[in-house]
Amino acid sequence: MACGTEDLKEGGIYLLNCPWSLEELETRLPAKVKRDLCRKHAQFYIIDAAKLAAEIGLGKRTNSILQAAFFALTKVIPLDVAVEDMKKNNYNSYFKKAGQKIVDLNNQAVDVGISAAVPVEIPASWADAVDAPAPEIEATPFVKDIVLPMDRQQGDKLPVSVFQKHGVLDGTWENGTSAYAKRGVATKVPKWDGDKCAQCNRCAATCPHAAIRPVLLTDAEKAEVPASFQTVPAKGLGKDAPSYAYRMQISPYDCLGCGVCLTACPVEGALTMTPFEEMKEEQHNFDAVAMNERYLKPDVISDKNMKSIQFAKPYFQFSAACAGCAETTYIKLVSQLVGDHMYIGNAAGCSSAYSGGAPILPYCKDQRGFGPAWEHSLFEDNAEFAYGFFHAQDAIRKEILLRLESLREAGVAVDAIDAYLANWNDREQSRAVSDALIAALEPAEKTADVAFVLENKEYLSKKSIWAIGGDGWAYDIGFGGIDHVLAQNQDVNLMVLDTEVYSNTGGQSSKATPTAAVAKFASGGKQIAKKDLGAIFMNYGYVYVAQVAIGYDQAQTLKAIREAEAYPGPSLIICYCPCLEQHIKAGMSCTQTEMKKAVECGYWQLYRYDPRRTAQGLNPFQLDSPEPDTSKLMDYLMGENRFASLKNNFPDRADALYEKAICDIKARYEKYRKMADSTNV
Amino acid sequence: MACGTEDLKEGGIYLLNCPWSLEELETRLPAKVKRDLCRKHAQFYIIDAAKLAAEIGLGKRTNSILQAAFFALTKVIPLDVAVEDMKKNNYNSYFKKAGQKIVDLNNQAVDVGISAAVPVEIPASWADAVDAPAPEIEATPFVKDIVLPMDRQQGDKLPVSVFQKHGVLDGTWENGTSAYAKRGVATKVPKWDGDKCAQCNRCAATCPHAAIRPVLLTDAEKAEVPASFQTVPAKGLGKDAPSYAYRMQISPYDCLGCGVCLTACPVEGALTMTPFEEMKEEQHNFDAVAMNERYLKPDVISDKNMKSIQFAKPYFQFSAACAGCAETTYIKLVSQLVGDHMYIGNAAGCSSAYSGGAPILPYCKDQRGFGPAWEHSLFEDNAEFAYGFFHAQDAIRKEILLRLESLREAGVAVDAIDAYLANWNDREQSRAVSDALIAALEPAEKTADVAFVLENKEYLSKKSIWAIGGDGWAYDIGFGGIDHVLAQNQDVNLMVLDTEVYSNTGGQSSKATPTAAVAKFASGGKQIAKKDLGAIFMNYGYVYVAQVAIGYDQAQTLKAIREAEAYPGPSLIICYCPCLEQHIKAGMSCTQTEMKKAVECGYWQLYRYDPRRTAQGLNPFQLDSPEPDTSKLMDYLMGENRFASLKNNFPDRADALYEKAICDIKARYEKYRKMADSTNV
């Protein structure tokens, strides 16, 4: 942990934002911090900004309080000038985006912040404080040598030799290192009440960080796990399922406290936000049981419904995404379906930042060593990059087929080869026949053909190829490449995480941005309608296209992903992702419920276009949206400051643009309705 | 003229391909050539390869004859070996693309060629041959100093100072320099029979090189033009038109002899291919009358029908396009409509090569100095490049508006400014009000505002912004940019010259290439359907989209271009362009009739999608194609070797792919038919 006290000057001011009382500091502060503060004669203050912000009504937003405390303590400029400037800045920062009320709250935060720091008398004993010996962290050599030092912000001290030692001079990174981050940044995390819980697993499905997971145990397993791992009898697993015990297990140190699980939960009180300190001991339950693959229940895990798939291991967990992020819920779900045989090309954007923010890597592998192969490419070529994955493995697999034909003629492992040749490209069977083939070839004489197949055994089973990125990638910068790849009619799956704005670079308008939304480069509200990416690709006739919103219909989302993955041609799934950059008034705990509202009023539409249906004489286009209540559209728009702020800044123009926005949305739904009605498209 | 005799070695062999008899050489050969041949004791031969090729049935293809003559004369390898190799090469070159018959014809050409060279006894008098003094060429200083030396292949001898002198160090080029090329490469050119001519102007409309033009003269004008400028009374100009005299005038030196005008002509015998030597004197009529802007008839010129618009000056003429090229007919037509106020961004490809092949520049200006501003950009950014033209002039014009507002307040040129402000962006009026404004401001006091407006007077009138390129640009490499520009809903027009293959780089498959067509990267026939570019952009709802084929329906083509240009938003016109790279069996004289066949059988569809109609409650989509006779589709495919050759090379797979091709084409027409039938799209 880097606390900054090593850089403190003699007599310097040290302000610590923490929820602790003066007394608690004795046990909470690391010895190094105590020694630094004492020996450097620091002026030490504490502040509980989170508590103050909540009291004011600013939720988790502590910035104005802490900024005020900084100016009050440091006096780098006269305090009255600072206060005036901070309040002026509040107006400039928030009035346009969020209105006068938010300006007022931040001004109140300034007033509170200037006197909120509490001075701490530093005990003389701290000069020689000594920590209890730290427990040895269980981790791989790669994590100990590279990840943990980087996590301590000491990555620039790592010598090249350590990368050489681990054979990663090419940038290869060990999977799953995000599991070691254990940030513990949430002040409150959800506490589960097994008696109230409906066991729907919606909380697990919607958690952006895979920090809450359902666990099923047999009676025997129950006996071996810690006593604190309290369970209730599992329900709703189907009449043939054994009688398992059920628990929804939170990871307090991985939870960001966003609260999405609570808003997604259908039962009042099944989850309750509870102070971290009360909950942190549950981490052991999570690590020892929920993360332990031997407790997975293959007889229950199924891709047929969202509840069942949530019992599967997520191969994407503890990413660096924002609290409340909707994007990661889609990625996690795909990883639960096909994570053990998945290749992913990731476009630049949020998803590359939270997936590849070294040293953490949220894509992990399982006990067998299987997991997603992930690589980050550019905004402008990610679909092509993933298409390269497809061609590379396809070329190797076709060479393998030739070698197997020749081995078969030579009478080697004939049965295993026959089974493989019959099922090499079958999603369900290829892993089993590959494993059997490897087992059959391993004892065989190491001819050149046998050696080739065994050297390339990782390519034997069919892989699931994905390109993932945001709307900046798919609608704008990478659109030409997406088109080219989808047009090739090969088995590549594209997932678009549509926040309707360039999120990672700070809110620039993309062609996914809808009419009337305020964004950078569209400060007067976007004048033209959102581009209909899905409709464009339905024109090819052989591209599977779906639009989904996990917060409205988890089953439809799952079905679309399942169908897209199973379709042996190109697929495109456009996923609605409410985001910080949309300035949702209800806050980021409501990203899932915001999707629900979006679908109900017709703002976002759900559909699936499946080319396989055409061959069956069916309409390939299926509209999965309900008949929208468009009377709620205006309320929906006003619930997000990206729309509502237009009225603040351009009151005379806003209404006309809102009207156009609503008209554009209705026209789009109407188009889909007609497509769904026609016998063929 | 560079004849190569300056590089001839003492006693070297010189073979001249020409239609001349031994006697004619005396008058035909330049003195420099005679002196070189005589003084260097050359072994001089002549051959009439064009005549021999025509006799064999190879049309204008002289390559095998000349190659055989080369090996026979030079004996660089034993002749029997050379003949064997040439015949082997004929098989390799032509069998796959064109079949055994073409291989046989080329083998026959080899047999003929080896003994076709006729030795010439060089008269001793040639040692001191002297030319009559060459007539002074009438040309601009730029042309004399830069263009003509480059045309003589002496461009590398030009010093930088000459470019500096002309102020063109930045690459600026004088418009219209193609008029000086006067290649005279056609052995036969069309001769017009005024008595038979229907005066439809189809020949002029379809000439790829603007080398045949209709002229109207008053009686007074008739008296002043050369006597050889024979006319007939004009007909079909409407009952209010004056009684003009009419002539269709050929430019023998600009004509490439492709014969498209004959195949496009509805009257047998109105045009007859005639030896160049008989026709070359007509050049004077073309230069003095057909090119003379004072004989243009504004009262007849109109964009309402193809006949009338052909009386307009083409601002695109004598390009370096292939004989028979269909692309240039579309560009020429646009230039006749809006060439005097047109900005063009040109993508890489054929159209950039034939439009910008220095030293010739086919975009020309008129007596007033008005003409298209043309610039070549890349494959991958041409739409954006043209969009930059739009924004640059738009920004300047909006600054002009501000200056005019301020001048108006100051009481300067109030009436002219009022008229301008009312019509500044009106296509029809902006030129007139701009001219009037300039006239009103020129005498005014040169305040900063007046000076600004006059300095920028070229931007006063509304411009017509175009991006032009081929299918490689529009369907593939530049697709992302095209999408981005069209999505912006600004007044930019895109013209796609669709040859369904990368033509300029030698026939690579693009996403415009249809199912079953053989191309590079699709040597076994394209497996997937042609991308429907137009349908993709109709999704936006505010993009004008049309598909045209000038060879089938000149009126629909004209209407689409006119509507696209008039539409104050983005437009896309997809133009069918039969091309050398399609290996049309009927030959390049039939590019226009090939389009006719393509539309009649449903291979190519004509439509216009006009967003303005939606506001009127009309279906924006209008299908202009006739009900196709799809029973002719297979015949159509077999008429082009890009399709037919598949059967030669993959006889077992070809039929299935032809079937898919026909199925894809029918599905596309069916989709359009449904769109046209529905009350709205």
pLDDT 10s digits, B339-384: 999 999 999 999 999 999 889 999 999 999 999 999 999 999 999 9
pTM of the model: 0.91
Q: In sequence order, which residues have a C-beta less than 8 Å from that of residue B277 and are 6 or more positions away? A: B19
What's the confidence (pLDDT) of residue B523?
A: 92
| ipTM (interface pTM) | 0.89
Q: What is the residue whose two structure tokens read 């091309």?
A: B579
Kindly determine whether residue A479 and residue B484, on different chains, have CB atoms separated by under 8 Å: yes
Interface check for A406 against chain B (CB to CB < 8 A): the answer is no
Percent of chain A with pLDDT over 70: 99
Residue A157 to residue A143: CA distance in whole angstroms? 15
Instruction: Tell me the average pLDDT of chain A.
Output: 95
Interface check for A305 against chain B (CB to CB < 8 A): the answer is no
The confidence band for B585, taking pLDDT boundaries of 50, 70 and 90, is very high
**SS3 call for A119:** strand
pLDDT at B1 over 70: no
Residue A22 to residue A16: CA distance in whole angstroms? 12
What's the confidence (pLDDT) of residue A1?
A: 46
Interface check for B190 against chain A (CB to CB < 8 A): the answer is no
Q: Which chain B residue's Cα is nearest to A673?
A: B681
| Residue B257 backbone phi and psi in degrees, to 5 | 70, 25
What's the confidence (pLDDT) of residue A2?
A: 54
CA distances from A2 to A6, A41, A154, A354 (A): 9, 19, 9, 21
Map A213-265 to HEC letters.
EEEEECHHHHHHCCCCCCCEECCCCCCCCCCCEEEEEECCCCCCCCCHHHHHC
Of A252-266, B18-32, B410-424, B648-662, give the lowest mean pLDDT range: B18-32
The confidence band for A638, taking pLDDT boundaries of 50, 70 and 90, is very high
pLDDT of A345-359, one tens digit each?
A: 999 999 999 999 889
* Beta carbons within 10 angstroms of residue A99's beta carbon: 16
Interface check for A273 against chain B (CB to CB < 8 A): the answer is no
Instruction: Tell me the average pLDDT of chain B.
Output: 95
CA distances from A76 to A46, A68, A80, A579, B641 (A): 19, 12, 11, 36, 81
The predicted model gives B415-427 an average pLDDT of 96
Which residue has better confidence, B606 or A20? B606
The confidence band for B22, taking pLDDT boundaries of 50, 70 and 90, is confident
Of B479, B489, B527, the CB nearest to A483: B479
Kindly determine whether residue B667 and residue A539, on different chains, have CB atoms separated by under 8 Å: no
| Residue B467 backbone phi and psi in degrees, to 5 | -115, 130
For residue B191, the cross-strand partners are B272
Of A480, A527, A529, the CB nearest to B480: A480
Q: Which chain B residue's Cα is nearest to A680?
A: B671
Task: Give ∠ CA B593-B598-B600 in degrees, rounded to 5.
Answer: 95
Kindly determine whether residue B484 and residue A476, on different chains, have CB atoms separated by under 8 Å: yes
Which residues of A fall within a CB distance of 8 Å from B483?
Answer: 479-480, 511
What's the confidence (pLDDT) of residue B679?
A: 57
Q: Which chain B residue's Cα is nearest to A533?
A: B539
The confidence band for A681, taking pLDDT boundaries of 50, 70 and 90, is very low
Query: Which string of DSSP letters, residue by residue, matches B407-451?
Result: HHHTTSSHHHHHHHHHHTT-TTTHHHHHHHHHHHHTTS---HHHH
DSSP conformational letter for A371? -
Percent of chain A with pLDDT over 90: 91
Q: Which chain B residue's Cα is nearest to A380?
A: B480
Q: Is A413 exposed, middle or buried (0-12, 13-18, 19+ CB in 10 A)?
A: buried
pLDDT at B579 over 50: yes
What's the confidence (pLDDT) of residue B457?
A: 96
What's the confidence (pLDDT) of residue A679?
A: 57
Interface check for A391 against chain B (CB to CB < 8 A): the answer is no
C-alpha closest to that of B399 among B339, B467, B459: B459
* Polymer length of chain A: 681
pLDDT of A105-130, one tens digit each?
A: 999 999 999 999 999 999 999 999 99
**SS3 call for A4:** coil
Which residues of B fall within a CB distance of 8 Å from A476?
Answer: 484
Of A478, A489, A674, the CB nearest to B528: A489
CA distance to partner chain A, nearest, from residue B545 (Å): 14
Selected residue of B511, B526, B539, B543 to mutate for chain A interface (largest A Cβ count, 10 A): B539
What's the confidence (pLDDT) of residue B681?
A: 44
Interface check for A535 against chain B (CB to CB < 8 A): the answer is yes
pLDDT of A505-544, one tens digit each?
A: 999 999 999 999 999 999 999 999 999 999 999 999 999 9
Map A508-532 to HEC letters.
ECCCCCCCCCCEECECCCCCCCCCC
pLDDT at B613 over 70: yes
pLDDT of A240-261, one tens digit each?
A: 889 999 999 999 999 999 999 9
Interface check for A511 against chain B (CB to CB < 8 A): the answer is yes
* Beta carbons within 10 angstroms of residue A294's beta carbon: 7
Of B483, B531, B535, the CB nearest to A479: B483
* Beta carbons within 10 angstroms of residue B399's beta carbon: 14
DSSP conformational letter for B9? P
pLDDT at B680 over 70: no
Query: Which string of DSSP letters, residue by residue, matches B157-206?
Result: G--HHHHHHTT-TT----TTGGGGT-----SEEEEE-TTT-----HHHHH
Contact B452, B460 (CB under 8 A): no
pLDDT of A225-240, one tens digit each?
A: 999 999 999 999 988 8
CA distance to partner chain B, nearest, from residue A180 (Å): 41
pLDDT at B617 over 50: yes
Q: Domains, chain B, ranges and CATH?
A: 2-128 (3.40.920.10), 141-174 (no CATH), 182-312 (3.30.70.20), 500-677 (3.40.50.970)
The predicted model gives B422-450 an average pLDDT of 95
CA distance to partner chain B, nearest, from residue A544 (Å): 15
Kindly determine whether residue A539 and residue B540, on different chains, have CB atoms separated by under 8 Å: no
Interface check for B541 against chain A (CB to CB < 8 A): the answer is yes
Of A477, A536, A674, the CB nearest to B536: A536
C-alpha closest to that of A101 among A85, A90, A111: A90
Q: What is the residue whose two structure tokens read 């006749």?
A: B336
The predicted model gives B452-467 an average pLDDT of 97
Q: Which chain A residue's Cα is nearest to B380?
A: A480
- E-strand stretches of A439-565: 464-470, 493-498, 544-548
What's the confidence (pLDDT) of residue B519?
A: 95
What's the confidence (pLDDT) of residue A60?
A: 83
Which residues of B fall within a CB distance of 8 Å from A479?
Answer: 479-480, 483-484
For residue A547, the cross-strand partners are A574, A607
Residue B605 to residue B598: CA distance in whole angstroms? 8
